[in-house]
Homo-oligomer: A and B are copies of this chain.
Amino acid sequence: MIRFENVTACYTKDTGIFNLSFTILKSDMVFLMGPTGAGKSTVLRAIIGDIPINSGKIFIDDQEIPRSNSRKISYFRRKVGTIFQDFKLIKNKTVYENIALPLRITGTPGKIIREKVYEVLKQVDLTGKEKSMPLQLSGGEQQRVSIARALVSEPLVILADEPTGNLDPIVSDDIIDILEKAAQNGTTVLMSTHNYPLIRPRQKRFIELNKGYLIQ
């Protein structure tokens, strides 16, 4: 569950997000729509504490997200799987190690890591690329590594920031299927996108933003 209560987080007086309030229930998959620069990424970055909130409150599963204490934020972030718009892959680690990272951070045994990584590699159709470095991949492949990394730790919440921008329609559909299945298994999924044709057939709820404000 994700709840925003009058959240304002702005970079300057008129860029950022302003006075947002909404609730996304557990096991729900919600799309965050809006034109470029609307504030979609800002919403997601506010949830994982990547940018500070000026006012208002954000709750995950009825717990307010931690702010100051860096240790608490770390443990909170482990519950969230994020697909970043710019992928944020570690350049000098292999695909395998990039995907394994969230599990390394929680100290998962190597054998279990192996199993899980190979499972998500299959899901995103990258089997055979595990030894490549990120710069040896095509744009779409890099994006799928980022998706796999968000899935591998089976998080409570998945934040997907434009996860299909570099993927062709068929693969995009597969990815959204995977996210939908995760939601069915109890994960809360919030996915930002401006690809309306892609999500229209899904019949999901969507939240629409424009210039930082919610459109009712």
Tell me how many chains of this kind the complex includes.
2
Cβ contact of A139, chosen from B41, B170, B196, cutoff 8 A: B41
Establish whether residues B169 and A138, one from each chain, have CB atoms under 8 Å apart when the complex forms.
no
- Give the shortest distance, in Å, between A121 (CB) and chain B (any CB): 14
Chain B hits for A35, CB < 8 A? 140, 168, 170-171
Asked if A141 contacts B196 (CB within 8 A), the reply is: no
Is A36 part of the binding interface, using a Cβ–Cβ cutoff of 8 Å? Answer: yes
Bound CA–CA A41/B136 (angstroms): 12
CB-CB contacts below 8 Å: A172-216 with B: 194-197
User: 8 Å CB contacts to B: which residues of A6-46?
Assistant: 11, 34-37, 40-41
A139 pairs with B169, CB closer than 8 A? no
CB of A107, distance to nearest CB on chain B (Å) = 31
Q: Which residues in chain A, 135-167, are within 8 Å of chain B measured between CB atoms?
A: 136, 138-141, 144, 161-162, 165-167
Contact of A36 among B136, B141, B195 (CB under 8 A): B141
Q: Which 8 A-B pairs have the closest CB atoms?
A: A36-B140, A168-B194, A165-B165, A85-B139, A35-B168, A37-B138, A165-B166, A36-B168
Given contacts A36-B168, A169-B195, 18 further A-B contacts (CB under 8 A): A34-B168, A35-B171, A36-B138, A36-B139, A36-B166, A36-B171, A37-B138, A37-B140, A40-B138, A41-B138, A85-B139, A85-B166, A86-B139, A140-B194, A162-B166, A165-B165, A169-B194, A169-B196
